[in-house]
Amino acid sequence: MILSCQNINKSFGDHHVLKDASFHIEEREKTAIVGINGAGKSTLLKIIIGYLSADDGQVIITRGKSIGYLAQHQEMTTGNTIFDELLTVKQDILAIESRMRELEQSMKHAEGDTLAALMNTYDRLNHTFEQQNGYAWKSEITGVLKGLGFAESDFSKPVDTLSGGQKTRVSLGKLLLSRPDIILLDEPTNHLDMDSIAWLETFLMNYQGAIIIVSHDRYFLNRVVTKIVEIDQGIVTTFSGNYSDYAQKKKALREAALQAYLNQQQEIKHQEEVIARLKSFNREKSIRRAESREKMLDKIEVLDKPTEARTDMHIELEPRYPSGNDVLSVSRLSKAFPSQTLFCDLHFEIKRGERVALIGQNGTGKTTILKILNAVIPADAGEFQLGARVKIGYYDQEHHVLHMDKTVFEELSDAYPTLTNTKIRNVLAAFLFTGDDVFKQIKDLSGGERGRVSLAKLMLSEANFLILDEPTNHLDIVSKEILEHALTHYTGTVLFVSHDRYFINMTATRILDLADKTLTSYIGNYDYYIEKKETMTDFTSVKATKAEAATEDSESQNKISWKQQKELQAQLRKKQNDLKRVESQIEELEIRDKEIDELLTREDIFTNVEEVTKLSTEKETLLAKLESLYEEWEQLSE
């Protein structure tokens, strides 16, 4: 055991956030803390790290173990560049390296006991340097920064000029490089794209320390964690397994508790009926028997009715009327900004009943496509056409569709003037706005509250084509599951952008992958997309569209067949993978070449003929391999 929380209590006023919370973490264990928004997850992390004090109870950390913490929001004004900011984590290694260089110069002119003492110090420092991976500190920093989505051109940017999300990524990089025995992460995936999240998953799965994560990313939790600590109405319960295991066990426990409650209620009702019947006989013996049963009934410890996962939020999405079969047709769509071309010559179609997820790295233009389809911004070229009887309902992650100076009640009543006040209040109550909450101005709401207002407007729209931009942002896990259920039972058509892979997996019937300024279509959910992307088989390019009727024959001759596209893209992807493999091998061999050079400067090595011969032979073999790899790299790069 590396960490233990024992009987932690925490209240804010009359609100009891944590009640006798107890759990422990083993070395190298990966744990998630889950619960609805406001349950106390971040509070618990802050108590563990010492930023908040518990009202009662204690946190015990094994003596000598280090702990690191990443908060959701970071302030960073150091004057350093991104690379130099991460380099601050390696100051101990740099100090050792500097001292080793000084000793090397001193040893050139030293003799006798002085030389022996210098060599002894050098050997000790070199051993520490190697243990701390000193020879690879630069590549380690570079690898972490690239893994977290920074390009090499970003390394020299001052951190003071970065956005809040970028500063959080820099802080995450520093924390990962420092390698504490216990890592506490509060929503680490919030500012990462899918590739960066996948890299972080691999890093954390292979991490040798213990990890405690607060995250709403269920796909991420499924991949990383082996234990779930749930906070539910202040009560902490521990479950073994990943998030899906927890969800199944939680469901089974809730069903068992509900069945026990129903059985007891049935038994109580039965006993009350028997008692009433016995009393109705109006005989002394039967009355005594009734009284005996009443005493037994009074001794029963009545079970509380189990609460549902979330009974206070309701989303019902249903179109007023169906659309035609052809919902959306996009052809030759292009968009560029002065500093960047986002995409060009996009072609795709969406049919009635499809739930299409548009995915891709940050900055590729996903939200821009949705804005073009909703006439928020114009395209540079191309066109799109909506099908017959198509009515769009738009959910904007930036909530531009909301009016900041209106109240929550006015936002709905002005949009749907035919609705009665009672109907509007009932809808708002379904989205957790009750009492005076409905008179709050939109500008005063949190991101999650604005999201719920947008969802309420979406539900009332009765649209048959929903266009959603990051609909799960700011929603807790239970709210996401409610939205998933609503979308999977929705009989209309959906096009959405999301980074939530679990949400995509549960709702999407098709994936559009926006990469390299073009789209590729995959029929299936996110797991299917990953499988097909890895094997590079059975995918269809959405660039192949119907030609104009007047020029159909001539254009069809210039089009590459579906099978040829498949073969060409598979060949290209194989070469791209080969290029990455060669670059990785070159990097490994170059690092080893430097290590050998460093070893050959050590007196205990260069005075050992056998060791020098061994290293020299290895270096010759290594250089020959490098020469071959350089040639292969040149061919692949072309």
SS3 448: helix
Residue 304 located in a structural domain: no
Burial grade of 629 (CB within 10 A; 0-12, 13-18, 19 or more): middle
CA distances from 9 to 23, 45, 48, 127, 365 (A): 13, 13, 12, 46, 46
Spatial separation of the C-alpha atoms in residues 322 and 324, rounded to whole Å: 7
Q: For residue 209, which of 58, 71, 62, 85 has the smallest C-alpha distance?
A: 62
Q: In sequence order, what are the residues at sequence separation of 6 or more whose Cβ sits closer than 8 angstroms to the Cβ of residue 494?
A: 354, 355, 356, 465, 466, 467, 468, 487, 507
Residues of the domain holding 575: 567-637
Whole-number Å distance between alpha carbons of 330 and 350: 9
Helix (H, G, I), strand (E, B) or coil at 576: helix
Whether residues 475 and 542 fall in one domain: yes
Helices (H) and strands (E) in the chain, counts: 21, 19
In a domain, 412, yes or no: no
- Answer for the pair 455, 395: CB distance below 8 angstroms, yes or no: yes
Question: Which structure tokens are listed for 91?
Answer: 């100051």
Instruction: List, in sequence order, every residue forming a beta bridge with 395; answer none if it has no partner.
Output: 468
Query: Which ranges in 431-561 belong to alpha helices (H)?
Result: 447-461, 477-488, 501-507, 526-535, 552-558
Any idea what DSSP says for residue 544?
A: -
235-240 sheet: strands from edge to edge: 67-70, 182-186, 210-214, 30-34, 227-232, 235-240
Q: Which two tokens stand for residue 427?
A: 């809808």
Return the CATH number at 475.
3.40.50.300
Residues near 107 by Cβ (< 8 Å), separated by ≥ 6? Answer: 115, 118, 119, 122, 603
Residue 310 lies in a domain: no
Tokens of 452: 């719920």
Q: Which of 375, 373, 371, 401 is nearest to 387 (CA)?
A: 373
Q: What is the pLDDT of residues 94-119, one digit of tens each?
A: 999 999 999 989 998 888 899 999 99
* CB proximity list for 325: less than 8 A, separation 6 or greater: 351, 352, 387
Cα dihedral: 365, 370, 376, 380 (round 10): 50
Residue 371 shares a structural domain with residue 482: yes
Residue 399 identity (one-letter amino acid): H
- Has residue 350 been placed in a domain? yes
517 with 500, same domain: the answer is yes
**185 beta partners:** 70, 213
Answer yes or no: do 282 and 356 share one domain.
no
DSSP string covering 70-98, please? E-SS-------BHHHHHHGGGHHHHHHHH
Q: What is the rounded distance in angstroms from the CA atom of residue 564 to the CA atom of residue 572?
A: 12
Do residue 3 and residue 144 come from a single domain?
no
* Cβ neighbours for 1, distance < 8 A, ≥ 6 positions apart: 24, 25, 26, 27, 62
CB–CB of 27/211 below 8 Å?
no
Strands 30-34 and 227-232: parallel
Asked if the structure places residue 126 within a domain, the reply is yes
Strand order in the sheet with 465-469: 392-395, 465-469, 493-497, 355-359, 510-515, 518-523, 540-541
- 328 near 387, Cβ under 8 Å? yes
Give the CATH number, domain containing residue 581. Answer: 1.10.287
Number of folded domains in the chain? 5
Q: Are residues 196 and 235 in the same domain?
A: yes
Q: Are 177 and 141 in contact (CB under 8 A)?
A: yes
Q: Which residues contact 395 (CB under 8 A, 6 or more apart)?
A: 401, 454, 455, 458, 466, 467, 468, 469, 471
199 and 295 in a single domain? The answer is: no
Matching residue, tokens 């990462």? 192
Residues in the chain: 638
Same-domain check for residues 264 and 176: no
- CA-wise closest residue to 20 among 10, 11, 12, 8: 8
Residue that terminates a domain, selected from 146, 161, 176: 161
Q: How far apart are CA 56 and CA 39, in angstroms?
A: 18
Cβ-based neighbour number of residue 327 at 10 Å: 25
Residue 333 lies in a domain: yes
Instruction: Report the 10 Å Cβ neighbour count for 463.
Output: 22
| Same domain assignment for residues 54 and 170 | yes
In sequence order, the 6+-apart residues with CB closer than 8 A to the CB of 384 are 328, 329, 330, 331, 333, 372, 373
Contact 461, 390 (CB under 8 A): no
Looking at the structure, tell me whether residues 579 and 543 fall in a common domain.
no
Q: What's the CA gap between 86 and 343, in Å, rounded? A: 33
Q: Rg of the chain over CA atoms, in angstroms?
A: 31
Residue 224 lies in a domain: yes
- ∠ CA 118-121-125 to the nearest 5 degrees? 135
Considering the domain boundaries, does residue 291 fall inside one? Answer: yes
Residue at a domain's end among 512, 547, 582? 547
* pLDDT for the residue 361: 86
Res 638: pLDDT = 52
Last residue of a domain, one of 107, 132, 161: 161
DSSP per residue, 194-208: HHHHHHHHHHHHT-S
Rounded distance, CA 432 to CA 409, Å? 13
As a whole number of angstroms, the distance between CA 391 and CA 264 comes to 50
Residue 276's contacts (CB-CB under 8 Å, 6 or more residues apart) are: none
Residue ranges of the chain with per-residue pLDDT less than 70: 74, 307-313, 536-566, 568, 630-631, 633-638
pLDDT the model gives residue 495: 97
Are residues 469 and 380 part of one domain?
yes
User: Does residue 70 sit in the same domain as residue 172?
Assistant: yes
Residue that the structure tokens 């790295």 belong to: 361
Instruction: Spell out the residues 6+ positions from residue 461 whose beta carbon is closer than 8 angstroms to its own.
Output: 391, 393
